[in-house]
Structure 1
Amino acid sequence: MAEFPERNPENYIWKIFYYNKKDSRTYLPKSNPDWGTTVNFAKPQTFLFLLLAIGFFAFVITMILTHQK
């Protein structure tokens, strides 16, 4: 199991947030690779990515709501 830390349930907070300081990857496959990818919440880059994504969607929604006729 050491070669696939994303499959170790001890590396998850509340069974959904991957958190592993020893894993150098920011983006990695989910415990079941067929489900896509996840992010390592132990990395600061993850929070920057989330902040940018939320900011982008907030901007789009604001533009849509303020430009309705």
Structure 2
Amino acid sequence: MGLIHPSPREGQVIYCVATGLTYGQTASRMGISIHTVHTYIRRIFEKYQISGKTEITHLAIQLGLLRLGA
């Protein structure tokens, strides 16, 4: 069984956080509230059974949203 793919908005949140943006910066970039970013983060943590920003970065690499050395 392969990796579950995120929704487009989840993918955007994963990418933003993995590239070092704060939740506030992510909210601003995506045009959503910081509360909504927190909701997406909670869903991502539950969906992928992860618990931190470092794991989000690893997830972004696994999903092909982020490349090392790019």
Shorter chain as normaliser: what TM range?
Answer: under 0.3
- TM-score, normalized by length of structure 2? 0.27
Larger radius of gyration: 1
TM-score (norm: length of structure 1)? 0.27
Structure with greater helix share of residues: 2
Q: Which of structures 1 and 2 has the larger relative contact order (alpha carbons within 8 angstroms, sep 6+)?
A: 2
